[in-house]
Each structure stands twice: as structure tokens, then as C-alpha cells.
Amino acid sequence: MQFIVKKNVQAFGFMLIALTTILAWSAPSVAPERVPQRVLLGMTSDPAHSQAVTWRTTVAVAAPQAQIAPCSGNPVFGNTATTVKATSGEYTTSSGAKVVHYEAVFSGLEPGKQYGYRVGDGTAWSEWFQIRTASDKAEPFRFIYVGDAQANVKSLWSRTIRNAFMSAPDASFVLHAGDLINEGFDDALWGEWCDGLGFFGAMMANMPAVGNHDMNLPEGSGALPSAANPLWKAHFALPQNGPADTPLLEDEAYWVDYQGVRFICLEANAYTPEDYDPEARKIAQAKQIPWVKSLLENNPNRWTVILQHEPMYQVGKNADNPELREAFLALYDKYHVDLVLQGHDHVYARSHKLAGGKVVGDAAPGTVYVVSVSGPKMYPFNPVYADLMKKTIADTQLFQIVAVTGDHIRLNTYATGNEWVDGFELKKNKDGGSVLSELSKP
Ligand SMILES: [Fe+2]
Ligand SMILES: [Fe+2]
């Protein structure tokens, strides 16, 4: 009898432990519309100490929030998580549905450290995403750069960006050179773009430049665009350090210093023949030039990279952009901008070292300009500036992996099948210039 009682007590104990374990590791079921969608990691002006994230739900949740904690293989890291409140904004999609977008900023993080974060409302959560903060020193890193995604984003762009992710899973962020989708007002296309990124969109920071298609308004709206569609700002958390007192350029013109490189993202549409509200164009044109000048003049980093949608030199069927050259070429030359990464022309073109609109020696002061395309919409190569280009490729979906070390930047270009198609290296000089050389393999 005593034996039976002892056995029963033992069995009860085991059941209790099992029940406690199950309760600890299972979440209550929640309404699916409260579950976060489109979780996108953004960028802040201090990526060594902060991170920003956006997401959305199809109903408003009562307490939007995000949690973050240093993480390792031990699964209970969430117990020490810090919770931050999120801001929210309601949007009506092009199909008339109401959705709510959220943004949360994690601050006080340690440089070069691995964290887990999740977003939600306290009971409906995303999964934990693992990220790493930037180092606060000029340490080596890699990033991905892609040209226009724009068309057939889910069916055909996804393979390119996913190949890029698999080729450089350690990349710190992705530079998207604009025209992310064909119609910036179309929420369904935004959904396709986020689907294309998949979970990587939440783990690798996104730094986009606004393309002309990202500004598009619905046909018959009777207005010209004055900024990217509001859905742009809803989807991206980006450094709030553009030209002062210029709300139109928020989330469009910004910069970040990342481990020895100054990245400047321009709103370049204002300097091109693309549709633009005249007053807004005037403001964007006037405000960005002194802003860029000041960022180039007061740059403590060894390297400078510019991201802009429209290219300095036309290489596709698009119109030429003399106003863009007039606005920035002399500044890029004077302050030794190393690399200008561009889109818009739906073709690949990588320049020689250029200064003053002319080819200069590989060791002379100057800049390398790259246009690329990642989606399936293609234009033939337009030879008007063929003399300035070292390498051109048409009809190919491409991605670039850029590696930065103290003395070198190496940019390698791959076709979507992972075939290496182009590559070059810039080696930094003591005087701030660089020596350009060809790579024969990655
Ligand atoms: Fe485009
Ligand atoms: Fe474009």
C-alpha cells in the first residue's frame, strides 16, 4: 500500500512538472489578425547602440510593443528582455482596407553584440529574430546592394534577393537603390516585396533610396507626387537626420556612419525629369545640396558611399539627368566620394574611375559609379556614355556583395544563378584617394 501511495505521489509529481513545462513553452492562441506581419529591420543613425523595426497588423492592437535581449543558444534569454512601446499609424490601403503600421526603436544597446528581438502586443508576438549591432570601430563588414526590384517582385525578384541573402548571410544590411515596386501606392505590391525578402527582412537591416515608382500616385488622382507614398514611411524606420526642417525628405534623405564608411542616401528624383510637384521639387533640390556638402566636408570616415536612384550617367533607355550632375558631381569629385550605387536604368553598368565627367587613371582621384538591376524588368544598354563604362551587362537579374575592410572595398556582382560576372577593388591611399583594380574572381 505504502508502495502504491509512493508511486502515485511520484506520478503526480511528474505530471506537475510536465504540465508546468508545457505551460511555460506554449503560447495562448491569439486572433490571427493581431499577429505581426511584414516585420522589417530598419536603420538608425547610431547602429552600434540602437536598432529600429517596423511591422503591421490588419487590426489596431491595444499595446503595440517590442522586446529585445542579448541572446545566445540558451532559449530562456527572453526572460531578461527589455520592452519598448511602439508608435502606430493607421493607413487605408489601395483596396480600401484599414491596416495599422508600427515602429519601435531599441536604444542603449552594446556595440557588436548579438540580440534577439520580437514585436507584438504583449500576447500576439512575432518569432524572436536574431540580429547583431554594429561595431563602434572601423571593423570589416559586408553589405548587399541591389538595383530596381520593381516588377514581378514576388514571382521573379524573390529568387535574386534570396540568392543574395544566402551568398552573404553575414551581411550587415541591404542597400536598395529604389523602385522597390512598380506603384508605390499599391499595398498588395508592398506585400509582395516583403514576401520576397521573407524572414531576412527582419534580420538584415534595409536601407532604401526612393525611386520614381515609389512616388507614384494612382492614375486620375489629379496631383503630382511630392514625396514617396505614405506606405514608404509606414514600412521603413530610417535615420531621422536629413536636411533640417524638411518633413518631405524624412525617410528619404538620410545618412549613417557604419564601421568606417559614411553612407549617404539621396532623394535623387527631384533632379530628374520625373513627375514631381513643382513646389516640393524646389524644396528637395535646394535643401539636399548644402546638406550633402556638409556631410562630405565633415566626414571622419575613410570611405564614402552614396546611394541614389537615378544614375549620374544614363545607361538605359531613361532620360539623361544633367541637373543631377550639376547638383552633385563637383561635390563628389571635391570630397573624394569613393562609390556611387544607383538604379533606375534596368541594366548593369560599372564605370571606370571618373572625375569631372571624364575617365581618369585608376590611381587618380575619382569615383566609381555603378548601376544595377535585381528585378526582371530590363532595358537594353544605351551606349550614350559607353566610353565612361568599364563593364556593362544587359538582360540579367543581379545582386552585389560589397566587402569593406580597413584599406579595401571590394564589390562583386553576381547573376541570380550565383554566377560571378564582375568585380573590382578600391584600395585606399594615404591622401584619401584610392587605387582601382579589376578582380578576376570574387
Ligand atoms: Fe525602375
Ligand atoms: Fe526609376
List pLDDT tens digits, range 33-49: 999 999 999 999 999 99
Residues 6+ apart with CB under 8 A from 385: 313, 314, 315, 349
pLDDT for residue 23 is more than 60: no
**Are 261 and 329 found together in one domain?**
yes
* Same domain for 37 and 149: no
Which of 132, 161, 189 terminates a domain? The answer is 132
Q: What is the pLDDT of residue 8?
A: 54
Of 111, 132, 153, the position where a domain reaches its end is 132
* End residue of a domain, out of 97, 132, 167: 132
Q: Counting ligands in written order, which one lies closest to the CA of residue 146?
A: 1
DSSP of 101-136? EEEEEE-SPPTT-EEEEEEESSSSBPPPEEEEPPPS
**Is a pLDDT exceeding 50 seen at residue 387?**
yes
> Do 86 and 173 belong together in one domain?
no
The answer to whether residues 128 and 148 belong to one domain is no
> Ligand 1 centre from 318 Cα, in Å?
9
Which pLDDT score is estimated for 61? 96
One domain, residues 62 and 167: no
Do residues 128 and 172 both lie within one domain?
no
Residue 5 counted as domain residue: no
Angle at 108 between CA 105 and CA 110, to 5 degrees: 115
Q: Give the SS3 label for residue 406.
A: coil
Average pLDDT over residues 53-78: 96
Residue 21 scores a pLDDT above 50: no
* Residue 64 is assigned to a structural domain of this protein: yes
Q: Per-residue pLDDT tens for 102-124?
A: 999 999 999 999 999 999 999 99
Inside any domain, residue 231: yes
What pLDDT is recorded for position 406? 84
Cell of 124: 500576439
* Domain shared by 128 and 151, yes or no: no
Find the 178 Cα to ligand 2 centroid distance in Å.
7
Distance CA(386)–CA(154), nearest Å, equals: 33
Q: What percent of the chain lies above the pLDDT cut of 90?
A: 88
Where do the H-state alpha helices sit in 319-386? 322-334
C-alpha cell at 349: 553598368
* Extended beta strands in 289-381, E state: 303-307, 339-342, 348-351, 354-355, 358-359, 368-371
Q: What is the mean pLDDT of residues 277-305?
A: 97
| E strand or H helix at 264 | strand 261-265
Note the pTM of the prediction, 2 decimals.
0.94
CA distance 218 to 406: 46
| Same domain? 332 vs 389 | yes
Domain with 74, as residue range(s), is: 32-132
User: In this structure, which ligand is nearest to the CA of 151?
Assistant: 1
Buried b (16+ CB within 10 A) or exposed e, 109-141: bebeeebbbbbbbeebbbebbebbbbbeebeeb
pLDDT (0 to 100) of residue 27: 61
The answer to whether residue 3 sits within a structural domain is no
For the stretch 391-419, pLDDT in tens is 999 999 999 999 999 899 999 999 998 89
Residue 239 has a pLDDT of 98
Contacts of residue 126, Cβ cutoff 8 Å, sequence gap at least 6: 35, 36, 39, 55, 118, 119, 120, 202
Residue 39 is which amino acid?
V
Q: Determine the distance separating the centroid of ligand 1 and the alpha carbon of 178, expressed in angstroms.
A: 7
What integer best gives the mean pLDDT of the chain? 93
Q: Please tell me the distance between residue 344's alpha carbon and the centre of ligand 2 in angstroms.
A: 4
**256: β partners:** 263
Q: What is the pLDDT of residues 249-275, one digit of tens each?
A: 999 999 999 999 999 999 999 999 999
pLDDT at 10: 55
Do both 114 and 240 map to the same domain? no
Q: What pLDDT score was predicted for residue 16?
A: 46
Higher pLDDT, 278 or 94: 278
Characterize 350-375 residue by residue with b for buried, 16 or more Cβ atoms within 10 angstroms of its Cβ, and e for exposed.
Answer: bbbbbbeeebbebeebbbbbbbbbbb
Q: What is the pLDDT of residue 25?
A: 55
**Are 160 and 414 within 8 A, CB to CB?**
no
336 inside domain: yes
Residue 325's pLDDT is: 98
Is 69 part of a structural domain of the chain?
Answer: yes
Same domain, yes or no: 311 and 353: yes
pLDDT of residue 309: 98
Cβ contact 286:324 at 8 Å? no
Distance 196 CA to ligand 2 centre (A): 19
Residue 418 or 297, more confident = 297
Element (H, E) at 265: strand 261-265
State the pLDDT at residue 94: 83
Residue 190 phi, psi (nearest 5): -60, -40
Give CA–CA dist 413/422, Å, rounded.
5
149 and 128 share one domain: no
Q: What is the CATH number of the domain that holds 244?
A: 3.60.21.10
Dist CA 357 CA 345 (whole Å) = 18
Q: How is 146-208 classified by DSSP, letter by letter?
A: E-B--SSIIIIIHHHHHHHHHH-TT-SEEEE-S--SS-TT-HHHHHHHHHHHTTHHHHSEEEE
**For range 87-97, the mean pLDDT:** 92
175 and 117 housed in the same domain: no
CATH code for the domain of 90? 2.60.40.380
What is the C-alpha to C-alpha distance for residues 115 and 117, in angstroms, rounded to an integer? 7
Q: Is the pLDDT of residue 19 over 90?
A: no
In this structure, are residues 88 and 109 in contact, taking their beta carbons and an 8 Å threshold? no
Domain assignment present for residue 206? The answer is yes
Q: Which ligand lies nearest to the CA atom of residue 347 in the structure?
A: 1
Q: Which residues have CB less than 5 Å away from ligand 1 (the ion)?
A: 148, 150, 179
| Mean predicted confidence (pLDDT) in 137-162 | 98
| Ligand 1: centre distance to CA 209 (Å) | 12
Q: Could you tell me if residue 12 is inside a domain?
A: no
Q: pLDDT at position 2, please?
A: 45
Cell readout for 239 is: 535615420
**Residue 66 confidence (pLDDT):** 98
Check residues 90 and 16 and name the one with the higher pLDDT: 90
Per DSSP, the three-state class of 420 is strand
Segment 209-236 shows an average pLDDT of: 94
Domain tally, the chain: 2
